[in-house]
């Protein structure tokens, strides 16, 4: 019997299963232990696993992220929670200059199996310093892997895979999605007994023939709503491609969709300048140009710091009507 659980519960299940799977897995972050996490993702894990596996850290991202990277070089598999991914900038040297390059600089002798996870989204009216979407920044650095799940199913399968990966994986979630529910099978309903989704494999969330809507993270939900409107009101059937993993990137699934539909719209909360969508648009233009019947267009956040005002922030980030209008402009 299918069951529905929240995105938050799916992450919690994935973390719990990995703590059981490998004694080297630990969770470290602000309020992750006794207070169950700022967003209750780690609820109950401290009570179950104790002080040595679920560890509260001081408010010093540079300190505890650096400690986690050092521990991972010695065989620990730390899962580090950032209350907001905006706070990653405090630990930028450790996350970019150290974690990303250690395996290369050591000639492959030292791995950094660390996961840094937390919300990277706008739309919650917490101001410019708490609303960054830095997936494009981290994806720019060779040696790092960047994941952004859009559903509870993907969140659970990807967090488990990320923890088992021997490279740094920066796992970007959305506070808007935490309370939303999706079907996630019980382990005994899955071949192999557990849900594992490989990194670098996109997912076709909706089949269509007229247009490719490509997105990651919370913008996948926006794209799906836009696709439903395009179908019901305009007779336009859209493929909706969820990247799931930004780096490594599944180019094949994207290109196959564009070759089928001949039109592409990228939807993201990233800012437009040097965003993920810019990379995707360039890749499509280079590798599928002869299939395009219209330019690749992007729907992004407004190119300004996040607006604190709730009604203004609602229109600063992509919303379904904006995606629909962009799609109609090339159909």
Render 35-85 in DSSP notation, one character per residue: T--TTSTTTTHHHHH-TTTEEE--S-HHHHHHHHHHHHHTT-EEEEEPSSG
Determine what percent of the chain is predicted with pLDDT higher than 90.
98
Picking from 261, 301, 270, 226, the residue whose alpha carbon sits closest to that of residue 120 is 270
Structure tokens at 93: 């040297």
pLDDT band at 312 (very low <50, low <70, confident <90, very high): very high
Cα gap 96→102, rounded to integer Å: 10
Q: Which helix (H) or strand (E) holds 276?
A: helix 276-287
Cα gap 130→119, rounded to integer Å: 10
Using one digit for the tens of pLDDT, what is the confidence trace for 117-163? 999 999 999 999 999 999 999 999 999 999 999 999 999 999 999 99
pLDDT beyond 90 at 184:
yes
Question: Quick check: 247 and 139 in contact, CB under 8 A?
Answer: yes
Picking from 318, 323, 17, the residue whose alpha carbon sits closest to that of residue 155 is 17
Domains defined along the chain, listed by start? 4-189 (3.40.50.970), 203-330 (3.40.50.920)
Cα 305 to its chain centre, rounded Å, is 21
Average pLDDT over residues 260-265: 98
What end-to-end distance do the CA atoms of the chain give, in Å?
A: 41
Determine what percent of the chain is predicted with pLDDT higher than 70.
100
Q: Which residues are catalytic?
A: 61, 130
């Amino acid at each position: 019997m299918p069951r529905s659980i929240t995105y938050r519960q799916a992450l919690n299940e994935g973390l719990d299963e990995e703590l059981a799977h490998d004694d080297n897995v630990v969770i470290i972050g602000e309020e992750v232990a006794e207070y169950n996490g700022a967003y209750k993702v780690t609820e109950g894990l401290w009570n179950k696993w104790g002080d040595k596996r679920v560890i509260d850290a001081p408010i010093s991202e540079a300190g505890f992220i650096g400690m986690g990277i050092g521990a991972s070089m010695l065989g620990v598999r730390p899962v580090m929670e950032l209350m907001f991914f905006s706070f990653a900038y405090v630990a930028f040297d450790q996350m970019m200059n150290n974690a990303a390059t250690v395996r290369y600089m050591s000639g492959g002798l030292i791995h950094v199996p660390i996961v840094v996870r937390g919300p990277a989204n706008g739309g919650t009216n917490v101001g410019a310093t708490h609303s960054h979407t830095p997936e494009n920044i981290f994806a720019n650095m060779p040696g790092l892997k960047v994941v952004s799940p859009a559903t509870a199913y993907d969140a659970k399968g990807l967090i488990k895979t990320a923890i088992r990966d021997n490279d740094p994986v920066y796992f970007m979630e959305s506070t808007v999605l935490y309370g939303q529910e999706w079907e996630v099978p019980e382990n005994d309903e899955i071949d192999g007994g557990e849900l594992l989704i490989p990194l670098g494999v996109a997912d076709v969330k909706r089949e269509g023939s007229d247009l490719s809507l490509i997105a990651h993270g919370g913008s996948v939900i926006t794209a799906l709503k836009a696709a439903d409107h395009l179908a019901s009101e305009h007779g336009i059937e859209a493929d909706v491609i969820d990247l799931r993993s930004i780096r490594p990137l599944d180019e094949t699934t994207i290109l196959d969709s564009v070759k089928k539909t001949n039109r592409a719209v990228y939807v993201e909360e990233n800012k437009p300048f040097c965003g993920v969508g810019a990379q995707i648009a360039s890749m499509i233009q280079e590798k599928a140009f002869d299939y395009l019947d219209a330019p690749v267009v992007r729907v992004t956040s407004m190119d300004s710091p996040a607006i604190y005002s709730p009604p203004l922030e609602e229109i600063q980030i992509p919303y379904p009507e904006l995606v629909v209008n962009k799609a109609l402009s090339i159909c």
